[in-house]
Every structure is written in C-alpha cells, then in structure tokens.
Structure 1
Amino acid sequence: MSKAAYTLPLRFCPVELRSSVFMRQRRLRGQGPEGMVLKNGGCLVALFTAPVKGSFLSEHDSIGAPAVRSVRFGAYELSPALRLLSRDGQAVSLGARAFDILVALVERHGRVVSKHELMTIVWPTTVVDEGSVRVAMSALRKELGPELIATVPGRGYQFTAQLQADESSASCGQISVTGPAGQRAATDETRRLLGRDALLEQIREAFGLGRLVTLTGHPGTGKTALARALRSGHAHGMGAQEAAPVYWIDLAALSSDQHLVAAIAQASDVAVTDHASAKALVAALRSSQALLILDNAEHMVDAVASMAHQLLEGCPQVHLLVTSQVRLKIAGELVVLVPPLEVAQTGMDHGQAQQWPAQALFLRHCRQFGRPLPITQQNLDLVSDICLRVDGVPLAIEYAAAAVPLLGLKGVADALDARRLAMSAGRRDAPDRQRTLRAALSWSVSLLGPYEQSVVRRMGVFLGSTSMQLLEPVVNIEGEDPWRVMEALSELIDRSLVVPEDDGIVTRYRLLESTRAFALEVLGSTRELSPMRQRHAQVMEAFFSRVRKAALDGTMRLDDGVRELQAELHNARPALQWAMDHDGLLALGLASSLAFVLRRSGGIWESGQYLAKTECFATEHVDHAISCGWVREAIIHWTYGNRAKAVHWLGLADPAYRAAANSVALIDLLVLKANCLDLARNNDDALAAVLDEIAAMDKSGLPDRLLTFCASGLVMAAHRLGRTQEVQTAERWAAVVPDGDAHGRMGLVTRLMSIQISSGRAAQAIALGQPLFDEHKNGQYRQALHWLPISLAAAYLSIGEPLMAAHMAKERLEVDVGNELLYAWTDVLAQLACLTNNHALAASLTAYGDRIYAAAGIQRPAVEANLRADSIQTALTALPPEQYQAACEAGGLWDVNAMQAAAEAVLLAIDPVRPLDDLKT
C-alpha cells in the first residue's frame, strides 16, 4: 500500500472515518486499522490509536458489546460504540486501555470494580500486573480529575459521577457540540469555574457588541479556562447559529509568526495552498461562521493582531476570542480584563469564607489532591491567609493547594514566601511554561524588552503598591528621562504584569505577590538585590522626611502629609528593617517619620518598637537624632510610656535647640517639656517657668499646626496651675482651628473636655466632643482617636448615662488594645463594674491601672483620678477588706490579655436591653 495519505470510502451517520497519514493494517480477529482519525462535519473529534476487533465496523469493541450506547456525565459524553469520549463537544484523546477501563467502570456504575475484574475485562488474553491498571487509571484521572473515579482501599475503583443517558445521539454516533444552556448536562463540579459567572456574562455581552474579544490578565488568572468555558456555550451566548463550529488554536507551541496561518488552517480544517499566506486563509474562511479561539497570543501579538484584522475584514461572520497578557490594539477589539479571584479576609466566619471564590477553589483543589480539609475556623483562616498572599491568582492557589498533602496546611502557610515559585500542581497535562509559577512568570517576563525587564525586577523591592514619585527614583538607576519609565510601566500594565490602582487622587502601581517574588528571585540571581534594597530605603527615607517636615512647618496641611505617608507605610517598614541592619543614620530618619505617622494611624505600640530598636543609634549620633526629628518623636512617645526616658532626651535636646536659635523649634520642644512636667506633677515651679517662657515668646509667625499643638499641650497645665487666661485662649482657638489638622484638634478638644468634666460641666463636654467623635470615627484618624472616646465615656458616667459610656468602650476596646491605651479605660470600666455589683472586678481593674501609670511615671488625669476615687470607695464599702485586698493583688498581676478579658466581662454585664434606670446609681 502506498504511503500517500488516503481517505477510506466509509461513513456512518454524519461521522466520517479518515486516515490522514499512512496507516498499516493488521488482522486481529479480522482486519482493522491501527490508527484512525474520526471527523464530524469536517472537525477532528478523536484520534484512534487502538485496533478495532472483529470486522472493520463491528459493533463490538475490545471489551465486548457495550451495555451503554451513549451517556453524559458533567461536561463529558461517552460513546462506547464509536470509541469516542468528548468534552464540551471536543474529542478527548485517550489511550486504548484507559478508554476500555472507563467504559467498564461506566457500565458498572454504582458498584466497586476490583483490579482483578478490570484486568480480566480489558486484557482477556494477556497476562499483565496491577501496574498496568494504575497506569491506565492515571491517564483517566489526568483528564477527568480525581473525583469522578473513587479509589476504595483494598477493594478497587468506583465510577461516582451522575450519568445522563443520551440514546438519541448514540444511535447514530452524532455528537451534540452545543445547545441551549437549559438542555446541557450539569457542569462537572471539578471543572466549574468559581466566581466567574459575571465575567462570563460580560464576555458574552462583549460578543454582542463586536466580533473580536481579547481576554487579558496576569499570568495564571484563568484566561484559558474562561475561553474553554466560552467554547462550550458559544452558540447560546454569542448569537451564532447553533451548529457553528469552534476551532481552538493554541499558540503557545508556535515559535515563529510564519506558522500562524498554518496553525489556524489546520485547526479550522481548511486547505490553503500557501501556509504562510493570510490572504489564502481569509479566502478559505470567508463564508465560515466559526468562532476561532486563539489561546496564549502574548508572544506573537503583532502577528496575531495583523491576522485578526484581516479575518475581521474578510470574513464577516467569523468571531475571534483571543487570550493574551497584552491586548492586540486594533480597531474593533473589545478587551475584557480577567482579574484574580475575590478573597475573603482572614477572620471571616468560616461558614461564609468557604463560599468565596478563592477559598472555594483552594478547598476544591485540596479534595482533588486527596487531602480534603475539615471546614473549621482555624483551617479557613489559614486558607484565607494563603489565598491573600497569592493575590487570589487561580494558578497560584492550585499550586499552593497541591503542596498541602506534603506540607500540611500550616506548613504551606509558613513556607509560602520561600516556596511560592517552586510550587507545582504536578499536572502532566500542563504546558511546560505553567509547570511551576516560576516557569509561568519567566515566560511572561522573557517577552519583554531589556529595559522593561529591568523595571519589573527592580519593582520587586516595593511591598504592595507605590506612587510614581517613589517608583521612578528607585527603578531609574540609569537616569533615563522619567517618560522612559512611564512608557515601560505602560508596557508592563499592557502585559498584565503591573496592576494600576486609581483612587481618584493618585494612581499607584504594584506587582502581584507572585510576580514580586519572582522579581526578587531574579534580583538575587543578578546580584542586584542588596543595592536595590539600599536604594529603596534611601528613597523612602528622603520622601518620609520631606513630607514630615513640610507637615510640621506648615508648608503643607498636616492631614495631607499624614495621608501621603499612610499610603506608603507598607513600603517604609521593610526599608527601616534594611536600614537597622545596614545604616544607623538612615534608620533614625525612617524611625522618626514612621513614629510621626503611626501615632496618628493607630500604631502607638508599633512606633514605640521602632523607637526602642533605634535608640542605640540615637545614643551614638545624638546630633543627627535631634536634627532628623527622632528625639522629638521619642519624647512624645515616652512621655506617656516611660517618663524617665522622656526626661533624659529632653535634657539632651534642650541645649541643642537653644543653640540653634530656632524659635519655632524651641517652642515646640518647650510644649513637650511642659506636658511631661504636668503629667509627672512633681515640680510645679519648673512647670510654671516653662509656661512663662512660652508666653513671653513671639508666636505671631507660628504655623497653625503649632498653635494647635501649643494650646493642646499647655491647657491642662495652665488649668491645674490656675492660669485662667491661657485656658481661655485655648478655648477660643478650639472654636476656630483651621482645617487641615484634625488630629491636633481632637487632642485639644479632649483636654478641654477633661477640664469641663472636672468643673461639673459634663453635658457641655459631650456637646463639644460627641460631634467630633462622630465626624472622625470612620475617617482618616479612626484608629487614632485615643483619649477622645475615653473622655466621652467619662462624661456620660458623670451625667448618669452608663449605657452610653459602655457603648463608647465597646466601640473602641479592640482598637485601643493595639494603641496600648487599654490602661486608660480602667477607671471607666471600674465604675461600670461597680454599677453591676461586680466590686471585686472593679478593685482589680483599679489596681491594674495603678501599676501601669506608676510604671510610666505619670499621674492620672483629673477626670480619671475622680472616677478611681469613686470606684475605690464603692468597692471598699461593698467588700470585706481581705476580699478587696485579694482583688487588688490579682489585678496588679494582670497582663494585657487578662485586662482585655476583664473589660469584655464588664461590658457584657451591661445589658443594653435592660431599662436604663436599673443601671443608674
């Protein structure tokens, strides 16, 4: 027989059996081809690789006459008589024995089939071992997934999918490619796309507006999976005729633009005389109504764009769906961005969290990899953490889940940073470029030009997003025109490697975490990581210092400065860590700026940690610590937490500030000194001298921020010393504080409220403070309201409204744990405990507060001191002396956790449902 291609003159129903290459025949109980190609309406639907027993078109195959003619399960249709398995209307190529095993299991649906029984059915005349079954089963599961065929230990295998018979189509061997959604079989749960319903509808709507839709997105977001989902439902969703064919062209394997025409022609089953001629392809498809899916087009986007343009122009009924990390940029193109999956935040109730797309996908993959996870709060918190750290990218989620059987869930979470890029699902059907995250990202970055590659890897030193004013000086090492960086960034955005974020004020840019990990890995391999971290730290320090200085000296609104710095906190932290390890002077500058913004962002504890860790550098470089602002921020912080340290640094700073002859800076320092002396209450003469010095200084040129700071820092001392005029000046300023320093205004109002409450004007204090609290409790300073809600709670207690006091405490308790302000609530909570007759708990709370105030070296403010006296008197009256003493001793030993538990117990006892009169004294 000639080796030339031939067509067998044989048809059954609409299915044509054709050999496209030379196939030798052999006899096995009759004649049959060793390899056959099955086509349906001109479309390739299956490649037969096994002999057919009996006569050429015998109704019997290698496992005898099948009991099942044609069945559906999920997205699959199995036609044993035709030896055909199709998925969403597209043929699936299986090995002969894998196909035989599938038919055997389907025929015996619902019962366990032993390995010995399968070996007898599939290899009736051949002696094989159990390894042959395992190999064939592996091929089946590679296609079907692990859930459709269950392994029953010690017994065998069971086909578990729900079957739907399709005798009408099986009778003639016809394959139903598409159809209305309501008539299609239920989607296989293991393949149903999670969280993509709205996106699928968006793509369908796009095809209602045009004939070219491009799916773009970061590597691994599921562009190909969406295209596959659209493939099965294209006729229903895109308005094409129901019989319109779908041709899938995978471009990833093409190494040259010259092969594009041939690949499309081969997939579309059209003959072209010139395999490089786009015109010939257009002519062949001119009357076609097909949907062409061009998958993975990013590496040959110019050729695909040109081809797409010619197809749209010359083939009026052809539709194109392109998946690419970069859009084609041609007329008529409709671009749909494929984002990562939505991720539930850590801590969300586990019953709700498991329903979110990212978490649901992770759990599904765990089941598929043989490690189903119990749905518990602890497990879902770990899953959420993992999904958040991989940004909800489906491919990264799959690879992380694949590591669970080896490492365990906690192990994956702990090792994610180090193992992220090496993780793999172990899928043999994955293309080489997606076997690991590293491979996928390396493929994407390799398509960039040299300069764009340098920009993306240098961006790895940024943690999260950043603005162009920080990005450009870090990555632009060569000193290029800034527009060159912007052009490179635009290319990276087009390639879906950089994510732009626009809040309406400024555009920020970030790498997804997996891309960032890859960038850092490449920086390490090119020995650029250390210099880039140094450059990043230097740029961050310069930026933070400049903004802090401008906010303090009044050249910019303080609120605006804080907002700018808050946006970059996540980048300043690693910069400070690098500086503490390599450059003490740089660390001092960063620590001072971080303390400045964190105090206004609910991060008092964190700022204290940074000040403590850099104090050694300040001791070694006192002058620099003063000039960069570290000493100022340290005094403010330690005035409330360690007065001895505050006094030490005040002593070093005072002569330096005076020597500098900077009156503005000196006034600022004197206010800090007055506040520290007032809280100590051990040297009123020195305090009065400081107030006299400040009063004598010229304050006409002070910025508004410093005027507010002066009024706030001095009013309590002035009131205690009976300096009425200065108190009245502060009150007048509080009524006219200009916008731009909301945090400073809150500090001033809080101190005025304390004076009013102590003077028996609690209702006036509430009228002053409650509107301010309501204005800012959900705003920029929601984490840094500090003493304002505490003063409000004390005011409500003063007017006999304990429920309102409890409400304020409940609203702020968790925040103030992080602010290290829990101790400031002790006297309010002790009063509430007395109102619910829990006098022992009140005594413990008071003792805890006494210990913290004493350790800080400061006295209670007047309002809190009065509350303390009242609760002590009430508790002493209600309790025997020994019981009171024991309660105090217990509270004096509490840690923060015990204090928090006590606070929650007090607030729980204040039942909001009970009548208010029951809680009044």
Structure 2
Amino acid sequence: MDDSRRRPGNLPADTTSFVGRRRELTSARALLSRTRLLTLVGLGGIGKTRLALRLATEVQRSYPAGVWRVDVAAVERADLLEHATLAGLDLEHAAARPPLAALTDQLYGRRLLLLLDNCEHLLDPCALLVSRLLAALPHLQLLVTSRQALGVDGECPLPVPPLAAPHPDRPRTGPDMPNEALELFVDRAAAALGEFTPTQPQAHAAALICHLLEGIPLAVELAATRLRTLTCRQILDRLDRRFDLLTQGNRAAPARQQTLRAVLDWSFDLCTPQERILWTRLSAFAGSMDLEAAEAVCPDAQLPPAAVLDLVAGLIDKSVLIREEHGARVRYRMMETIRQYGRLHLGEPDERQALRRRHRDHYLTLVLRADHEWFTAQQATWACRLDQERPNLRAALDFCLDTPGEAGAGLRMAAALWSPQLGADHLEENRLWLARALAADTARSPARIAALRADGWLALLVGADEAAAARVTECRALAAELDEPRASAQAEQLAGLAALFADDLATGVQLLEDTLARHRADGDHGDAWSALFLLGLACCLAGDSRARALCQEGLELCERQQAQWARSWALWLSGLQELLLGATAAAARRLQESLRCGPPAHNRLGVAQCLEVLAWTRAQQDRAPEAAELLGAAQSLWQQLGTRLPGVGRLLRHHTDCEARLRRALGDEAFTRSVQAGRALAVEQAVDRALERTPGCRSAATASPLTGREQQVVRLVAQGLTDKQIAALLVVSPRTAQGHVQRILVKLGFTSRTQIATWTTRSQR
C-alpha cells in the first residue's frame, strides 16, 4: 500500500486536476515554515480551499500526526464549532467533558496541521478557538481559509489572487507570462465535452472570456461548463449578463458554491447593513477610486461621511475591495464581477441617477481643479492622477452626454480635461469626447471656445487638417461674437498653431506674438507659457534670432512655477534649438534632461518628440546604430499615439534627412534591423537607451517588487530593529509590522532578516 494512504489525516482526494498556482504554493510553503497560523484570504470562488488542500497534501510528510481538515462552512452555530473540530479530527469526546479540554488533552504533544476551511461566517468564534489552541498546543500548526483574516496575534494572512489571465491582444512584457485561467478553462472544457482542442479563434475567444472574468477560478469553471450548449464566442457575447449565464455548477458542491451569484450572495450576507450599502454605491465607480471620491459620492442620510473610512476597511477585510498603493495615495479597486453584483442591488432608478450625478459632480470638480492648478508644482501629480481616473472620467462624461440637461457640464469637463496641456495621450479618444460634447451642447459660450481650441489642437496632431481648419474658423468667429478677451486669445493661439503646422512660419510668429502679449496682460502663467513655447518653436524653425532667448524664458518660467511636465517640453525645445545651431553635445544633454523629468507613461507624446530629435542628434554625432534604434522607438510611439510624425512640416524634413543619412552609413539591411530593434522596445526601455543606462542602473525603489510601506520596513529591518520597534516608529500594531516582514521575505525569496539587510545594502550601493 502507498505510504501516503497510511498517513493519518482526512484530506479528500482530488476529483479534478489542479491548475497553476505555482507562485502561491511557493509563498505559502515558505510562510508555513515560519508561522504557526497561516490564513489564506480572498474573495469567494477565488480558489482558497483548493489551494489549501494542495498545500496540505504537499506538506503532509512534515506532520507525523497528520493533516486534518474541518469544513467550518457546515457549522451553522458558534456553540457547535468545537464539537465539529473534534469530529473532524476523529477524536473521542465524553459528553460531560468540555470539548475544548478534550481537544487540547488529546492533541497535546502531537505534531499536526489543522486546516479550518471557510471560517468567514463564524469569524469571532474561529478566532477564539484558534487563539486557545495555539496557546495550549505548542506543536500544532493551523492553516485557515476565510474571506477575512481572523485578526489573531501571530497570524500571517496570505491574500489569494485570481489566476493569471493576461489580455490576449496585449503584448507580453516578460519571458514568463502564464495564462493559468485559460489553462483551467481548457481543462474543464475537456472534462465537460470529453475532448476540447480549441482552434485559434476559439482559443482567442476563450482567453478573452478568462480576461473578462478576471481569472476568478469558479467563474472560469462555470463558463467552461457552458460549452455543452454554447460556443466560446456565444459565451463571450453573454458575459454582460454573467449572473444569468454562470449558473450550472457542480451539484455535489454546497449550494452557496454552485453558481457565481450564490457565491456573492454569501459574501453580501456576511457584510453589515452599512457595508452592503457602501458596496452597492462603490459599484458606481469605474476602475478604482480613492477615499476622497468614496467620501464625496457615497454618503447620504443612510450613510454618514464619517462612517465611510471604517466601512471601506471592512470591505477590504472581507475581500470585496482590493487596496492598491500608488505613490503617496491609496486606491481601492473592485473586480468587475463584484462591481456588477453591487449594481444589481443599487435600488430604484431615482437613487441610481442621484448617485451617478454625485459621481459626475465629484469628477467635474476634480477636473476643473486640475485645470486651474495645472501650471504649478502639482503638474506631474495631476498628470498621474488624471490618468488613474480615466475610467471614472469616461463614466462621468457618459452621464453628462446621455442625460438630458447635463450636456453643458460635459462640455466644460471635456474642454478642461483635454485642453492642449493635458492632451498628451489617447488623442483619438479625446477627440471623440470633444466631438460628442460639442454636438450635445451648442450654446455660444467661453466653454465652447475652449473645447473648439482643444479639438482643433488635437486635430492638428493627428493630421486632420480640414477638421482643424474648421475648428479655427468657428473658434475665431465665436470669440469675436462673445468679445471675451481670454477666449479671443485662445482662438488666435489655435490659428497660430495651425499656421505653424502649415509651415507658414511668418503668419504663425505674428499670431503667436499677439497671443503671448494678451496672455501676459491677463497674468495667466499657464496660457502665457503655452504661447511662449509655440512662439519659441516657430522662431526656432524660422531661424529667428529670438529663438534662444524665448527658449530660455520658457524654461525659466517652468522652473519658477516648478511645472515639471511643461519643463520637459521646454527642455525638448531647447535641445532642438541647440541641434539646429550645430551644438550636438548640448542638444543631447537637454534632450536627456527632458526625458528625466517624469515617468514616460504620463507624457508619451513628449517622450516621442525627445527620442526623435535625439536620433537626429546621434546621427550627426556619427553614432548611426544608436540613432537608428532611437528612430525606430520614436516611430513605434508615433504609431501608438496615432499622431503624424513629427507634426510640423519642417521637422518632418529633418526626419527624412536623418533617415537618408543613416541608410548611407549603415546600408539598408542594417538600418532596417536597427529600426526594428528600436520599434520592439517598450517605452521605458527606449528611455533607458536614450539615457545610456541599463535597466539594472535604476534605483532600488523603481526596480523593487515592494510597496512604498514595505520599502520603509526593509530599511528599518536593515538597521536591526525588531518588529515591535518598527511598529512604534510607523505607528502600527506589532502584528501588522510582523505581517509586512513576512510578505517582504516571500516577495524577495528570503528566509531571514539578515538576508533583507544584505539585499538593502547591496541595492543602495
């Protein structure tokens, strides 16, 4: 007989194959070797039980007294928990003896692993039982699964994520990009059909199903069983009604696990009444949200603003919300399945409409504030924040443009959000919103002029010259009709930009000089810088002797206002000016400094311009292979952005001259290879090449897998501080500090605090 069958315990045999989870198993095994209480925490249907059973099976040789599972989900009352544990461990119990005493007496001195499965509905009784068992039984280890951590001293919670399910159309960024969810789908489809070998279209549709279900194992399995009656494409088309679709589960499973809706009903019922209200109202958000947004949108007479913070914490604890750190701010995200469930419980149409209006009001205020504070030290922060809020901004604009009487707010929002200063990415999408807003609200107003200017600017960038000309004409006519100074200056600036793109530099210089004078008179630093930048570019291309002074003035204005995003553009213009004067070394320094001004993801248009002009610079420095690679990287960005390269007519001639020079230097074949190599680079890799650094030269903070708080803890561990000392310094509980250290060890693949200290020292060097 196999030795494993004689080993004590009651683990059930697998009835289906176990898919994926290599990383989670590695982390869990490492933690189990260092803690007596490991809790697998996650959303219902995420696979906690299956992961726990596989982990228990893999480690059972380490427990002479066996590995035992107690299914707490079957226990309905707290006073029966200890009795159920005795029964699960197959222990005797005299009726007159307290069950806890019987447990501790019979288990004392025995090394075993006890798996308490599905504890969320008896959280406090389970926490009390676990605390008493750990105190009384020094050789006992506990593995717990729950939708919420127990909150017991010494507990090490390990969040269980969904299965990996990358988007099938998204380029891979690393050598190991598994699609565990698709592997599970194919496996369960084969079990349902007897055989399933998907064709390429079927595989693509299946991968999309897994992506849209966000890798939730139960949802993926339920979708796979639908292949008995539907094709992959038909399942995909019905995922917007997923709670009606994913209903045919394993009839042998508990009722709460047989359908996707039943799983979430169970989670919803475990929440307090106010947590349920917040869950449903947070479903009005798209993507993620911060605490400020939740406190602005969700409260009313039923839900006071002061309660939101604690309720958010409760939903995080129950795995309804996912906490994510973004620099100095924390954001909260709902998985789409949880969001759709929340929307099913939102209530009457009037309540939904009021909630959507509060959501719109919050984001309109946010956008107008960003526009007002744009040319300040907050510029980079706003660029990042607005990029994070893009899904919510889309939802707010949809509300404005689909709801009678709200179009005016939509026009103000579109004009302020995607003005020329902010329109550095998503160019075609931005134009679609502006077109919808302009069509929905035809009132003659300064907001319309701002929207016309924004749309005209973007039309020039994407090469829609006729549309841009129409916007210039309408913008100038409306400005003359309204006789509003700032609006008139904006209209003339758009006309000057159009002349610049048409290579009519004389007209462009004249119009932009007039615009600059008007903005200076108004005292508007942001508009003045914009006009100053465009006038400097026009003079630079025209060979006007004022170009250098204008470049310097624009750079100094950015530095006085500490506007880093605008400073990157000012440095680009200064680099271009140096190149056109033949100072290639100075040009390269300015362009590289521009690329260092901020994360490239928030200014891809600026990065493309820098890579392009730096390629011309390297070509003139006889560094042909490097120049061709940079040219390819810039081409890739132009294509991704949907803009013409590089925009202004005279700049396009410089690109053509550079390409001809590189072909002569390298030959057609070598030139093409270098350009293709550049096109294959991700934007961060292209910036690394341009700055002449390798990825390993980045700071430890950039390259580290740790969060900001975990990096703080790492530095304190490296100083030799204990968990208690770290907790005091960070004003957290010792248990929280211990949890941080445990997660750091897992993420870095270490087993001791000494290894953390050594790694920190090496990273700093």
Instruction: Pick the TM interval, shorter chain.
Output: 0.7 to 0.9
Any conservation in 1 of the 2:42–2:160 contact (CA below 8 Å)?
A: yes
Whether 2:122 is the aligned partner of 1:293: answer no
Determine if the alignment matches structure 1 residue 202 to structure 2 residue 30: yes
| Cα 1:584/1:732, change in 2 over 3 Å | closer
- What SS is found at the alignment partner of 1:619? coil
CA offsets, 1:519-538, max 9 Å, x none?
A: 12222688744443333223
Query: Hey, what does 1:608 align to over in structure 2?
Result: 431
Q: Distance in 1 between matches of 2:335 and 2:593?
A: 41
Q: 1:709 aligns with which of 504, 524, 530?
A: 530
Give the match for residue 578 of structure 1: 399
Question: Secondary structure of 1:709's match?
Answer: helix
The one-character-per-residue Cα deviations of 1:292-337 (angstroms, maximum 9, x if unpaired) are 3221111111222223333334445444332211122233433232
Equivalence for 2:212: 389
| One-letter amino acid of the structure 2 residue matched with residue 645 of structure 1 | A
Alpha-carbon contact 1:215-1:323 (below 8 Å) kept: yes
1:377-776 aligned at under 5 Å gives the runs: 381-419=204-242, 422-424=245-247, 426-478=249-301, 480-523=303-346, 528-552=351-375, 554=376, 556-582=377-403, 583-596=406-419, 599-620=422-443, 622-626=445-449, 629-640=450-461, 641=464, 642-652=467-477, 654-655=479-480, 659=484, 670-680=492-502, 684=506, 688=510, 691-692=513-514, 694-695=516-517, 698=520, 701-703=523-525, 705-718=526-539, 724-725=545-546, 727-734=548-555, 737-738=558-559, 740-752=562-574, 765-773=587-595
Equivalence for 1:305:
127
User: Is 1:226 matched up with 2:51?
Assistant: yes
Q: Structure 1 762/653 Cα, relative in aligned 2: closer, same or farther at 3 Å? A: farther
Displacement, 1:610? 1.3
Instruction: Specify the SS of the correspondent of 2:75.
Output: coil
Equivalent residue in structure 1 for 2:85, among 227, 246, 264: 264
What is residue 326 of structure 1 aligned with on the other side?
A: 148
SS of alignment partner, residue 123 of structure 2: helix
Q: Compare CA radii of gyration and give the structure with the larger one.
A: 1
Shift of 1:755: 5.2
Aligned residue in 2 for 1:864: 652
User: Are the equivalent residues in 2 in contact too, given 1:354–1:380 (CA < 8 A)?
Assistant: no
Residues 214, 327 of structure 1: 8 Å contact kept: yes
| Alignment equivalent of 1:255, drawn from 57, 76, 80 | 76
How far is 1:567 from its partner? 1.3
Structure 1 residues 802 and 334, CA gap change in structure 2 (3 angstroms):
closer
**Aligned partner letter, 1:715:** G
| Runs (5+) with no aligned partner, structure 1 | 1-69, 78-85, 94-142, 146-188, 826-852, 854-859, 873-902, 914-921
Equivalent position of 1:217 in the other structure? 42
Q: How far apart, in 1, do the equivalents of 2:515 and 2:23 lie?
A: 66
- The structural deviation recorded for 1:630 is 2.6
Matches within 5 A, 1:4-403: 90=10, 144-145=15-16, 189-190=17-18, 194-206=22-34, 209-210=35-36, 212-237=37-62, 240=63, 242=64, 244-273=65-94, 277-282=98-103, 285=106, 287=108, 289=110, 290-346=112-168, 347=170, 355-370=178-193, 374=197, 381-403=204-226
- Mapping for residues 831-850 of structure 1, pairs under 5 Å: none
- Kindly provide the amino acid, as one letter, of the partner of residue 606 in structure 1: E
1:814 aligns with 2:636: yes
Q: Deviations over 1:403-432 (max 9, x none)?
A: 344333333333323225641463122211
- 1:380 to partner: Cα distance: 5.4
Q: 1:639 to 1:650 in 2, by over 3 A?
A: farther
C-alpha change, 1:681 and 1:666, in structure 2 (3 Å) is: same
Question: Would the aligned equivalents of 2:116 and 2:143 in 1 still touch at CA under 8 Å?
Answer: yes
Change (3 A) 1:528 1:719: same
CA distance in 2, matches of 1:422, 1:485: 33
Distance 1:774 1:400 in 2: 46
| CA shift for structure 1 position 453 | 0.3
8 A contact 2:536–2:547 mirrored in 1: yes
Report the CA distance shift for 1:577/1:795 in structure 2 as closer, same or farther (over 3 A).
same
CA–CA separation in structure 2 for the residues paired with 1:483 and 1:512? 25
Assess, with a 3 A threshold, how the Cα gap between structure 1 residues 656 and 751 changes in structure 2: closer, same or farther.
Answer: farther
Percent identity over the alignment? Answer: 22
Structure 1 CA distance for aligned equivalents of residues 29 and 273 of structure 2: 38
Letter in 2 for 1:196: E
Aligned-partner Cα distance in 2 for 1:432–1:388:
26
CA distance in 2, matches of 1:904, 1:686: 40
Greater Cα offset, 296-305 or 452-461: 296-305
The Cα shift of 1:688 comes to 2.4
TM-score (norm 1): 0.64
Tell me how far 1:377 sits from its aligned partner: 6.6
- For residues 350 and 480 of structure 1, what CA distance do their matches in structure 2 show? 43
TM-score, normalised relative to structure 2:
0.75
CA offsets per residue over residues 566-608 of structure 1, 9 Å max, x none?
Answer: 1111221122223211121232133224424995542112111
Measure how far apart 1:457 and its partner are. 1.3
What secondary structure does 1:321 align onto? Answer: strand
Root-mean-square deviation (CA, aligned residues, Å) is 4.1
The alpha carbon displacement at 1:645 in A equals: 2.6
Q: Verify the 8 A CA contact 2:294 2:308 in the aligned structure 1.
A: no
RCO higher in 1 or 2 (8 Å CA, sep ≥ 6)?
Answer: 2
Asked if the contact 2:322–2:333 (Cα under 8 Å) also holds between the matched residues in 1, the reply is: yes
Is the Cα–Cα contact under 8 Å of residues 616 and 654 in structure 2 kept in the other structure?
no
Offset of 1:266 from its aligned partner?
Answer: 2.5
For residues 193 and 599 of structure 1, what CA distance do their matches in structure 2 show? 41
Provide the secondary structure at the position in 1 that maps to 2:115: strand
**Rounded Cα–Cα distance in structure 2 between residues aligned with 1:806 and 1:576:** 42
Please tell me the residue identity of whatever aligns with 1:564. Answer: R
Measured in 1, the distance between the counterparts of 2:130 and 2:76 equals: 18
Per the alignment, in what secondary structure is the counterpart of residue 462 of structure 1? coil
Write the mapping of 1:786-797 to structure 2, written as runs, cut at 5 A: 786-795=608-617
